[in-house]
A and B are shown apart, each in its own frame.
Chain A
Amino acid sequence: MQGANQDKLLWTEAVTKIYNPHLPDEMVALDQASIEINKGEVTVLKGPSGSGKTSLLSIIGCMSRPTAGRVVVKGKDVAKLSERFLTQIRRKTFGFIFQQFNLIRDVSVMENAALPLYPTESGFGEIRHRVDTMLDRFGIAAKKNLKLRKLSGGEQQRVAIVRALINDPEIIIADEPTAHLDLELAKDLLTILADLRQGGKTIIIATHDPMIFEHDCVDRTISMRNGRIEKISMRKQ
């Protein structure tokens, strides 16, 4: 187990998330969730709608704070950090691929991809170079000056992936990435994720799509229901 602990990139201990506490519409989204994420692995959070997958993903991605419990990212307890430090960690450590891409519609491909780099100290030249390289890697360099609404669904997906990767994050978080994709695009995405895993990235995916959690590249599956962790299973070797 010693080797596993050294590879442990991120873990949570008894994390609870309650929305609208003490109000009539109070909702317990997470209840005592404890998980571990190892470096270089693909971890899937699996469960039906309302199981707490997205809430857990938000918390471990430093997008929101837990109501109770600990969240440790690369050895740092982030649950009680100020917003400023949380943002820094989020910026340096995580790349997000959202369910609906969440790209900015009337902005060019280039600018969408470059947005995570704007609040950093990188210069304009460096940004252009990085964005060009990444867009090229995903085959959409030719469309870099087009507005987003001129791209197909698949191309937009790639822009979302470029944006997630532009800061060279260690951990990639994807929330229901295949929810709005057809079969071909979904397969494409999985191929990309598998490649990223090969490249040493740690990937966490929340999904209820069996195509993902039954894929070969998945190392660990965490099943959730009603905000609780039901079962953790490792990939059969």
Chain B
Amino acid sequence: MNKHKIFIAITLLEIGLGAMLFISGQSAVRAALSQQIGPKQQLVKFFDLTDLSIWTEARYTRHPSQTDFFTPFQDSPSSLEHFPAGSIISPLQGTPETRP
């Protein structure tokens, strides 16, 4: 009649492991914030960068923050989808003053 003890031990182990990962993650976050974010912000500031370099298939996937409603159509009137980037990137969000 020890199954309950084994189960509780395993569950506590899992929770402990999860907690350890979370705590080590938090200290990695603190280290990143102090060591990585600063230098990256430095790059952004010096080179006037506006977007992350993730999807490079098309203009509107490479620089989503710089695109307007028409940019996807500049490649082709039918605006062929670049998958999956195109389905991840939401339609343009802008403020009334700046939206064309």
Contacts and interface: CB of A to CB of B under 8 A. Distances in A.
A and B from one assembly?
A: yes
Interface of A: 110-111, 114, 124, 127-128
B1 interface: yes
Interface string B47-89: 0000000000000000000000000000000000000000000
A197 to B, nearest CB: 32
Contacts of B1: 110-111, 114, 124, 127-128
A111 B1 CA distance: 8
A128 B1 CA distance: 9
Secondary structure of the B contact surface, majority rule: loop
Contacts of A114: 1
A2 B1 CA distance: 49
Nearest to A128: B1
Nearest to A131: B1
Task: Give the size category of B's interface with A.
Answer: under 10
A127 B2 CA distance: 13
Nearest to A125: B1
Nearest to B1: A124
Nearest to A110: B1
A127 B1 CA distance: 10
A111 B3 CA distance: 12
A130 to B, nearest CB: 12
Interface in B1-30: 1
A94 to B, nearest CB: 25
Contacts of A128: 1
B7 to A, nearest CB: 14
Nearest to B2: A124
6 contacts: A110-B1, A111-B1, A114-B1, A124-B1, A127-B1, A128-B1
Nearest to B3: A111
A62 B1 CA distance: 30
B42 to A, nearest CB: 63
A114 B3 CA distance: 15
B6 to A, nearest CB: 13
Contacts of A111: 1
A62 to B, nearest CB: 28
A14 to B, nearest CB: 46
Give 5 nearest A-B pairs by CB, closest first: A124-B1, A128-B1, A127-B1, A114-B1, A111-B1
Nearest to B5: A124
Contacts of A127: 1
B37 to A, nearest CB: 54
Contacts of A124: 1
A89 B1 CA distance: 26
A140 B34 CA distance: 69
A110 B1 CA distance: 9
Nearest to A108: B1
A110 B2 CA distance: 13
